[in-house]
Structure 1
Amino acid sequence: MSQNSPMPPNASPGINLRGAVDLSALKNRATTTEPIAPSGGSPYAVDVNEQSFQEFVQLSQKVPVVVALGSGRSQQSAQVNALLEKLMNEHGGKIALGRVDVDASPQIAQAFGAAAVPTVIALIKGQPVPMFEGDLPEDQVREFLAELLKVAASNGVTGNLGGAPEPDAEQQEPPLPPLHQAARDAIDAGDLELAQASYEKALAEKPNDADAKIGLAQVNLMRRAAQLNVVQAEEFRSLAAGDPDDLDAALAVSDLDVTGGHVEDALARLVKYIGTHFGPERDTARVRLLALYDVVGVGDPRVSASRQALARALF
């Protein structure tokens, strides 16, 4: 894949997103808002600028929206937009696409902290969900959108923009395997020990059960986090800051950072520990890091970046 095109000179890096997009500057500029109307190759795709962006973001309360940051100077941007339009049509209104020309609307790129085009980011209830950069193969983009719909459903965003009938109950996702359902029910009931046992049994029966592996990693993280009160959490943070060789502190703070949404910090902490230690401690940190990869999601760009850093630390 060729290099992404750089952002234009007047699009300096924006804020570091940690759960919300800072759109205050865009809101102040939105004195006159043109109605959003579809254009291009999909009725679910619109051209978005700094004046109409706030209105487009509101759609993310109903359906997940995909923001494609591109440029007329980038052939890759055109290719990504064309592919996304095709996939929007296939999803029949379950996802909306907003195409942004960063040359004309640099503040949108700044708000997302995008440094290159094309960059694709999603929004669910106004919250950012990192997607990908560059021109990926169609099957990989499909995987990103499939994961996006799962995240949206878990947050109650399951609407449809129209143009396609809602699926009947029989056409909904198939029921979970019994052990997976038992684990999910146990989590809902607050019985994390039973949820852990259910996922472990599922893995014992089917060692390559990826969903059970991810579920077990998530439950284990929930159990570890539940065992820490506020005082203990602060103590571990102090220990980690004062003693980078304290493995227990590094593991605890990484857990706290993931549960608090500071994913990059958590992964970077463990990679750094692995790169500066050897023996059993290093392997313990590596195993925990791999488990956190499962929690965050193997397709998450932050995990991909961390894997590269881990490879450098190990070799």
Structure 2
Amino acid sequence: MIDVTLENFENEVIAASMAQPVLVDFWATWCGPCKVIGPILEKLEIDYGGRFKLVKIDSDQEQQLAAAFGIRSIPTCILLMNGQPVDGFMGALPEGKVREFLDKHLPPAEAEADDVVDEDVIEDTLPGDPDGQLTRLRHALEAKPDDDDARFDYVRALLLAGRIDDAKAAFAPASARVAGIRRLDSLQRVLEATEFAHQQGDAAPALARFDAAIAANKRDFQARFDRARLLAGQRRWTEAMDELLEILMRDKAWNEDAARKTFIAILDVIEPPKPKVAEGQIPPDDPTVATYRRRLSSVVLS
């Protein structure tokens, strides 16, 4: 268990959640229920053997962090994975309910036997072989068509390869589940951006039109958002995120948080799979993703 402040939040929460889920316990010294659930959370961190990391934030001392997470009552616990909140709960739940919450989100203690990818498929895939990678991902999805992670990996690879029609077809069976699964929501947002870019036809006149609107009114957020979607649809990822940051710096909540959600969607799509490392080591972050994740945190928490 680690006490987190604004100074170490980036390392202990955002960066740490890229390697393992992080459960943030917002508490205060005067809060009676906080004293009840605190020992339960500390016990479960030990019982779960490293499957999640527990950190505590004193909501009185760290009001900026509490405000950033929209904390309205304590105790409140927020689970972060891959740098983003995925779920949470309020109040001093009994241990059994907290276990149910954790088990819903945490990876299993040990890989299931049927999770192993066909070795013949792996052997057919060589580094730098995009067709082989797509074949492996397609086979993994065909073997487990209800596996949302497998679908995300395959659709993401198709998107990055520019095979947009194939990506749409592969995504379609999961479209009804978008509301409850962040990475599927990310795929949908990037696919919609790609469709938007296609509808604009020639990108140059469209960009010129958006640029003129922004020059006339820097708070024309719709023009900025459309410009960002056009750039994302062209796979000009960093330029798109730069434009979305311009919106966030001026109005974080514009259009039901559309800029932040689209920014996260781009990060989800462009972040490469983590390389395998020795046990106990943390795989390195992609430098572009890490840089833009820090920029997002800086703007959102400012």
Compare the two structures and name the one with the higher helix fraction: 2
**Pair in the same fold by TM > 0.5:** no
TM, length-normalised to structure 1:
0.43
Report which structure shows greater RCO (CA 8 Å, sep ≥6): 1
